[in-house]
Amino acid sequence: MKKRIGLLTSGGDCPGLNATIRGVAKAVYERIGADNVEMIGIEDGYHGLIFGEYHVMKPSDFSGILTMGGTILGTSRQPYSKMQVIEEDNINKVSNMKKYYKEMKLDCLLTLGGNGTHKTANLLAEQGLNIIGLPKTIDNDIYGTDVTFGFHTAVGTATDVIDKIHTTASSHRRVMLIEVMGNKAGWLTLYSGLAGGADIILIPEVPYRFEAVMEAIDRRARNGRAFSIIVVAEGAMDADEANMKKKERAGHREQAGYKTATQRIADQIEAGSGYQTRVVISGHIVRGGSPTAYDRVLATQFGVYAATLIERDIYGVTVAMKNNVVTHNPLAEIAGITKLVPIDHQMVDVARNMGICMGD
């Protein structure tokens, strides 16, 4: 009897998803045999598993996708907080997922995604399904792994944005603020800010003081630097907001007319000084494009390791990279935990020792 393996990609897309799908499939075909395996593609993430939208894939489906961004399976966001809530459509999502898992006659399901995806993967594992997670996110915030696929490509893309802003900032002698994705964790902002030569880096883990930001800009001006580059994580917050709960902070910003701190900081700078400011939101650009060579290799490593887990019937785990060795963690131990940037992290120290203002 053929081993039937389900694949789904969930949450925000990122470079490396297709490379990982390819790595899994090619390694499974090689290790178990193409005649002994059926790969089942589940469409649009957990949505496809909830509503039974899937198709049997052929070996040819996995050719030519190594360099492709996005995901050939499609993706969607299905909030974990609602997975066990029966809404107006009267659908029991967990029951449906178990039902279609059995209907597909799956021996296991591979879920490629970030923190929310892993929480739902753990929920399904607790329900008795054979689950293997694969850590995908540009935010690099999955606990238990040193790196996630998609992160290095996103760093490169965000750095390219910062590089291009440098020339216009210097030409017009402006303070340029570049907003980078990262609502809870500042890894992407920190690394791209360092790589792009930012003067000020603001991340969620280090609440900023506007006075410190302004002093850094003034100091550059006194030293003959007529422009400044500020890289801001979308989740950056000031010291007052850091003491607020999430809903309170959102209400505070809505009342002030800002969704993120970036535009507020820009307006504060212009109001309190003679500096011209401009805001650039890199947004979903950092999710797109072809994965870098590093991410292609990492995705392939992760995919091959997942194939090994399938061959050994090891489930209820997620693949990880620790100290340059690919391994796995129990889903129950990592699901729901966000890997934040420690305030004493080596890369934070590197930034400070380069004279970069972290806002505190």
- Phi, psi at 162, each rounded to 5°: -60, -45
**Beta carbons within 8 Å of 311's beta carbon, 6+ residues apart:** 28, 31, 32
Q: Report which DSSP code applies to 290.
A: P
Give SS3 for 318.
strand
- Which residues are CB-neighbours of 316 under 8 A, at least 6 positions away? 125, 130, 131, 330, 331, 332
Cα–Cα dist 358/212, whole Å: 9
Kindly name the residue from 13, 44, 139, 238 that is annotated as catalytic: 139
Q: Residues with Cβ < 8 Å from 222, sequence gap 6 or more?
A: none
User: What are the DSSP calls for 151-196, one per residue?
Assistant: HHHHHHHHHHHHHHHHHHHHHHT-EEEEEES-SS--HHHHHHHHHT
- Token output for 281: 């939101």
Give, for 109, the enclosing helix (H) or strand (E): strand 108-113
* 139 has catalytic annotation: yes
CB-side neighbour CA atoms (13 Å) of 59: 10
218's enclosing H/E stretch is: helix 210-222
Active site (catalytic) residues: 139
